[in-house]
A and B are shown apart, each in its own frame.
Chain A
Amino acid sequence: GESVGLHLPTLSVQEGDNSIINCAYSNSASDYFIWYKQESGKGPQFIIDIRSNMDKRQGQRVTVLLNKTVKHLSLQIAATQPGDSAVYFCAENAGGTSYGKLTFGQGTILTVHP
């Protein structure tokens, strides 16, 4: 079936660097994408979302880029901090009558070194 996957399972950066986490999706019908951050032992926390009619969306220190041509999604974190260390998941919603169901990628472990 359709799936969402990640290019890199782990990412290590130095504090202050910019981080880029990538995600590939295969369902061309997906029209809504979300990035979540999950800290150890906690539920996923919403970071930022983007609809398929957009290419870029910015939040506080985070930017999500969507390339529909190659079905690629990325999360950019500016000035990465130790508190950003977590597992990051992308998720897609195929819309229509999918009742809000999301398909999640495997996740990328981000480690920020002070």
Chain B
Amino acid sequence: SQTIHQWPATLVQPVGSPLSLECTVEGTSNPNLYWYRQAAGRGLQLLFYSVGIGQISSEVPQNLSASRPQDRQFILSSKKLLLSDSGFYLCAWILQKETQYFGPGTRLLVL
């Protein structure tokens, strides 16, 4: 069966520090991968998606970037974090059907 992992689970970072969040998927090949951010008490905002290795599409201009160095690995990064980058970051995947399956999320607090 397929599983999706995210780490770390929680992260507290100072403003101006770099960021690297990782998402990996097991049990599938060539999935579409997605990064979402969710502010407290709000809905999900799509940040990036990838249909293959090295292919990244950005949905909104922001302080973040994404990379897909391997088929089942999706990384969210920042060179200098802002206070507004705080939130709950979710990774999701699709294989064949349109149903997206989500990971457990990473809670980021920028101070």
Q: How near does chain A come to B57, taking the closest CB pair, in angstroms? A: 7
Q: Which residues of chain B are near A34, meaning CB under 8 Å?
A: 98-100
Q: Which residues of chain A are near B46, meaning CB under 8 Å?
A: 101-102
B43 adjacent to A89 (CB under 8 Å):
yes
Known pairs A99-B51, A105-B43; A46 contacts B101 (CB<8 A): yes
A107 adjacent to B57 (CB under 8 Å):
no
Q: Which residues of chain A are near B90, meaning CB under 8 Å?
A: 43-44
A44 adjacent to B43 (CB under 8 Å):
no
B107 adjacent to A102 (CB under 8 Å):
no
Q: How near does chain A come to B32, taking the closest CB pair, in angstroms? A: 5
Known pairs A34-B100, A44-B102, A99-B49; A89 contacts B107 (CB<8 A): no
Known pairs A93-B98, A100-B32, A100-B98; A43 contacts B43 (CB<8 A): no
> Does chain A have a CB within 8 A of B104?
yes
CA distance A81 to B64 in the complex (A): 40
Most buried by B among A45, A89, A102, A106: A102
> Does chain A have a CB within 8 A of B103?
yes
Most buried by B among A34, A41, A43, A106: A43
Q: Which residues of chain B are near A91, meaning CB under 8 Å?
A: 100
Interface code B71-104, partner A: CB below 8 Å = 1, 0 otherwise?
0000000000000000000101010001111111
Question: Which residues in window 36-52 of A have CB below 8 A to B?
Answer: 36, 41-46, 49
A43 adjacent to B104 (CB under 8 Å):
yes
8 A–B pairs (Cβ distance < 8 Å), ordered by A: A34-B98, A41-B105, A89-B43, A99-B49, A100-B34, A100-B94, A100-B98, A101-B49
Given A43-B92, A100-B32, A102-B100, 10 additional A-B pairs, CB 8 A: A34-B98, A42-B104, A43-B103, A46-B101, A93-B98, A95-B98, A99-B51, A100-B94, A101-B49, A105-B43
- Which 9 A-B pairs give the minimum distances between C-beta atoms? A43-B102, A100-B94, A104-B44, A104-B43, A32-B98, A106-B43, A43-B105, A93-B98, A44-B102
